[in-house]
A and B are shown apart, each in its own frame.
Chain A
C-alpha cells in the first residue's frame, strides 16, 4: 500500500503518461528553479506537439531550450523569450507558435487554473495587443480584460525539499512560478534536491501542500547561472 507516498525512483516513472500534443506547465524563472531532470526526460521521450506554459523557454542547450532541438514544442506560452537563438529561428520559420502573456497574468492564470477559477478580470493588457479580442468590462470606472485560467496535463516543478507525501519547500528565488505550476497540473511531478521523511518538515513552513503533488523524484541539478554578476562587476 503506497498510501500517500508519492516518491518514484525513475524519470520514466516520473513522466509516465506524457503523450504527444499534451500541455506541460513548467516552473522556473530563466534558468532558476527549473526541473532539469524532468525536462531531460521529456527530451529523451521525444514527445512532440507539446504546448509548454512557462515564463521563459530556457537558453540554447539548457533548460526548456533543449526541447526545441528536436522540435518537440508546438506552442510556448511565456512572458519573455528573448534568450534563445533556436527559439527565434523556429518562430520566424513558423515551426513554433508563441503566446506572449504578461508575467503577472501568466502567474495568475496558473493560480486560477489550480484553484478552480475559470477566468479573472485584470487591468493588465487593456488597450494593448494582449487585450485584443478579449472581453472587457468596467469596474469602478476602470477597464479590465477577462483572462482565462490555464491547466496542464502535466506540471513539472522544481523544489528544494519534499517529504514522501509531496509536501514541498522551495529555496530563495528558485520558488518563482513553481508553487502555481504545482497546483495546475492534472499530474504534478516535483523534482527535488532532497527527499526527507514524513514529519521532518515543519507544517507551517510548507509552501506546496502534498495534496497538489502526484509524484516526487530525487533529482540532481547543475543549477546553471544565466547572468553571473558580482559586486566586483560582470
Chain B
C-alpha cells in the first residue's frame, strides 16, 4: 500500500537526529513535527524569524505578532529565539540548519528540484525555498512518487523551471525511500506491501536497485 501523508511524515521524522535544527516546508513536511521520536530533541526553524517553534496556540495564547512561515498563529517553545529575516537566512545560507524538508513537483537524477513554478499557471513565488535548497546541509524531498495521472515525478531531467541545482540527496515518497547520487536514484526502502516492480514502473529516471530492499518501518 502506498503511504498516507501522515505515514510519509512518520518516515521523515525517523531521519532526524538528537540535537538537529530543522526547517519544515508547508504540507507533508510540517506534519513530520508531530512524529519526532520521543527520545530525541529537535528544534524547528521558521524562516520568518523563529528558531524553536512550539505548538499552535490555545485560544488564550493567540498573538497576531507570533506567526510561522505559513502565516499561521504559533507559539515559541522554551529556549526559542526570534530574529530578523536577514539573520534567519544567514542561518539557512550559512549551512547552520541541519535538515530541510520540502515538497516538490519534480526531482531528477542529478538532484535538481522543481517546486515553485508551472509555466502557464499563476506563479505565486518561491518564498524561501530557493534559499533553503541552496543552504541546508541535508535536504529531504517529500512527494508522491507519481502525479495523479500516474506520471513519474522522479525524472532523468526536470522539465519545470528549477528551484535548485544538484542539491537533493534524499527523497521520501508514498512508495519508497531513495538516495540521489552518481546520476541515479538508489532505492533504499519500499513502503510496506509495495512491490519493486511498481517502483520501477513509476520511476522515470535511472533507478539503481542493490540487493534486497527492505520495507520501511512505519510507527
Report A's interface with B, CB cutoff 8 A: 29-33, 55, 78-82, 88, 91-92, 100, 102-108, 110-111, 122-130, 143, 160, 170-180, 207, 223-232
Total contacting residues, chain B, CB less than 8 A: 51
Report B's interface with A, CB cutoff 8 A: 46-50, 55-59, 62-68, 70-74, 76, 82-86, 88-89, 92-93, 112, 117, 122-131, 134-135, 161-165
Distance in angstroms between the alpha carbons of A231 and B73 in the assembled complex: 10
Tell whether, in the assembled complex, residue B85 and residue A103 are in contact, meaning their CB atoms are under 8 Å apart: yes
Tell whether, in the assembled complex, residue B130 and residue A128 are in contact, meaning their CB atoms are under 8 Å apart: yes
Q: B135 contacts which of A107, A123, A179 (Cβ < 8 Å)? A: A123
Chain B nearest CB, measured from A75 CB (Å): 14
User: Which of B65, B66, B85 has the most C-beta atoms of chain A within 10 angstroms of its own C-beta?
Assistant: B85
Q: B89 contacts which of A108, A170, A223 (Cβ < 8 Å)? A: A108
User: Which of B50, B92, B163 has the most C-beta atoms of chain A within 10 angstroms of its own C-beta?
Assistant: B163
Q: B130 contacts which of A82, A124, A180, A231 (Cβ < 8 Å)? A: A124
Tell whether, in the assembled complex, residue A79 and residue B86 are in contact, meaning their CB atoms are under 8 Å apart: no
Distance in angstroms between the alpha carbons of A88 and B121 in the assembled complex: 11
Tell whether, in the assembled complex, residue B56 and residue A229 are in contact, meaning their CB atoms are under 8 Å apart: yes
Distance in angstroms between the alpha carbons of A171 and B135 in the assembled complex: 27
Q: B64 contacts which of A32, A78, A129, A180 (Cβ < 8 Å)? A: A32
| B73 CB contacts on chain A under 8 angstroms | 225, 227-230
Tell whether, in the assembled complex, residue B62 and residue A180 are in contact, meaning their CB atoms are under 8 Å apart: no
Chain B nearest CB, measured from A172 CB (Å): 4
Tell whether, in the assembled complex, residue B64 and residue A177 are in contact, meaning their CB atoms are under 8 Å apart: no
Tell whether, in the assembled complex, residue B85 and residue A29 are in contact, meaning their CB atoms are under 8 Å apart: yes
Tell whether, in the assembled complex, residue A80 and residue B124 are in contact, meaning their CB atoms are under 8 Å apart: yes
Q: Contacts A82-B124, A128-B161, A227-B72 hold; do A173 and B67 have CB atoms under 8 A apart?
A: yes
| A225 CB contacts on chain B under 8 angstroms | 62, 64, 67, 73
